[in-house]
Chains A and B, each alone.
Chain A
Amino acid sequence: MVSTPVLYWLPGAPEFRDRLAAFRARPSWDLAVALANSRLDFLATNALDEANRQAFPNGPGQEIAGDTIRLAILGSSTVAHLHAGIRVAALRRGLFVSTYEANYGQYWQELQDKGSMLHRFQPTAVLFTLDAYHLLAGVNPSWQAQDADVALAELCGHIECCWTCAREAFHCPILHQTPLPVFPALLGNNEHRLPGSRSWLIQQLNMRLREMSDHARVELMAVDDRAAQDGVRVWHDPALWHRTKQEISPVVTPVYGELVGRLLAAARGRSAKCMVLDLDNTVWGGVIGDDGMDGIVLGQGSALGEAFLSVQRYAKELTQRGVILAVCSKNDEANALEAFEKHPEMVLRREDISSFVVNWNDKATNLRIVARELNIGLDALVFVDDNPFERDLVRRELPMVAVPEVPDDPALVPQCLADAGYFESLSITQEDRTRTQQYSSNRERVALQAAATDLSSYLRSLEMQLLWRRFDRVGLKRTVQLINKTNQFNLTTRRYSEDDVVAIMDDDRAFALQLRLLDKFGDNGIIGIVIGRIQSEDVLLIDTWLMSCRVLGRQVELATLNLVAGQARSLGAERLIGEYLPTSKNGMVRDHYSNYGFSMLESKPDGASRWVLELAKFTPVDNFIEVREG
């Protein structure tokens, strides 16, 4: 027997059956989310899914408006056992997913037929799961290389065709599960010398899918990678395949669902943003306050010291792809700082840490401080601490903070953090690569602010420039990222895919701006997006207005409004219409339009409102930002 992969970074689920019974008796969405955030096996996952669907057949209602996803699963074999794991993984993130599956083996027909149940379902996300047997049905080991190339090209063509069909019909994110390498080898170690080997062809297809998906902007769900770690034989049971045509073994469906869940969350900007590290026995061995800088275990020459280095190196590498680091530790700050500044083996340095909160307060209080300093939500934090007591306390006090059950052995921590997938990301932008640098410049700005005698002199001394550009291909990835990730300063929280953004670029009745802020400390990158649509001759509707919270309080809103008003006038508009659509996260901009001189047109019971600004009466407000095209 091989051991089954589980969601081992989640805390265990003691008395699960009793808690599930309590949930059935008195359903609460929060309790369902809490249960989903424990280490459930496939049976418990199915049971929770069933109970939750009975309690909330249409989702939890208003409170998470916009967090409902309709996922179509388009598979070539049995997929009925995959739904529960996916729905529970979504629940783990507070998302509600309703699922649809195409009739057995009918994915292609349903895609083609505009009247099919699939089209009537109107998915907001599509998952293709085409198994290896189906894809390589006609392959023959006697083939020459040329035959194999032609077959592979046809196969790739078919898959791309599926993607195009789905994209044109549904304009929604498309996920594609890579086929599992289920075929036994025919030659052996040098299988690649047999062009018609199914084992070799599936490997080639999986390599090809990487390139194709980049080009087609499809998100891969890489179960082939996952199975390479866990063992293909855990993921795929040939006996089950013959009996039930399940490519994916039911025992791994919680992990399968988790992979889908994190992709769906990433596409909606719901991945975590910041890793908060404890210090003693988390990033070095020992207690700095007791053992002193010379006494902590860290670095070459000791197995344990190298293991702690590997944790630091992983954290450092995460910053190089856009994850922010913070420190939350009970220590005297001076002791902790000394290690960061002077210990020769430290990989992490003070400038890698965007929020450094070291004191003797409880960790829940300090995590709140971290979130506030970084201007991100508590649900964007992942808290890594070796101490089970602290982990437990934070889970109880701040259930929205992710707290992995990290292994006791630091050697195993990096893989655990990777497996937990908190920072799943669909693309990488220039802003990601320099994010830590930007936060560290922010600290210098704060220091300057403290030194300045008043706000105006501070803002003036920043020497800010706001550079605007129409949407373009160069900035496409960052534009899409901001549109899909920004939750707080976002008036309408409309999410747009790359396709949508390209369509907006090509639409001559839309005007769409990306805004970059420079100041004396450096380039903040693209920090704002405005999309306007010409509604009628003289009306411009502000479809989207969002801004990164990093630049709050610096009059960027003011400069942006002046810019939008000017642009609208030059397009012949006489009034601007703005909308506010409330979500659980954008309360900070509820009064945005009223603050900037708009008059209310309409206010709805759900908190949504519409506002108007007569451009004839509008005079640009002075501020300290120079605005120019560039």
Chain B
Amino acid sequence: MSWTTILLVAAGAYGFKALGLLGLGDRKLPAAAERVLALVPAALLAALVAVDTFSAGRSLVLDARAAGVAAGGTAALLRAPFPVVVAVAALVAAGIRQLVG
């Protein structure tokens, strides 16, 4: 990642925070706008999970990652703490690669 990208993200992120705190002040957005903004993490995180699990470059693939993410996701559904979720996913994916590869 280039420094330019990092600095542009930093400037934009601070810009939103400052615009709210210093610029717009205490007012309400239209309710529909608040509902749409509240859904951004759901839509983008789901897209990130899907792309990071099932794609390699421009191809859709089904490999050890899918099993790892399924195992980690199950741990998360069972309310396992974050480090456990991540470790379960890594172990399952690495284990399958050991067995198959």
A in complex with B? no
Task: Please report A residues at the B interface, Cβ cutoff 8 Å.
Answer: none
Task: Please report B residues at the A interface, Cβ cutoff 8 Å.
Answer: none
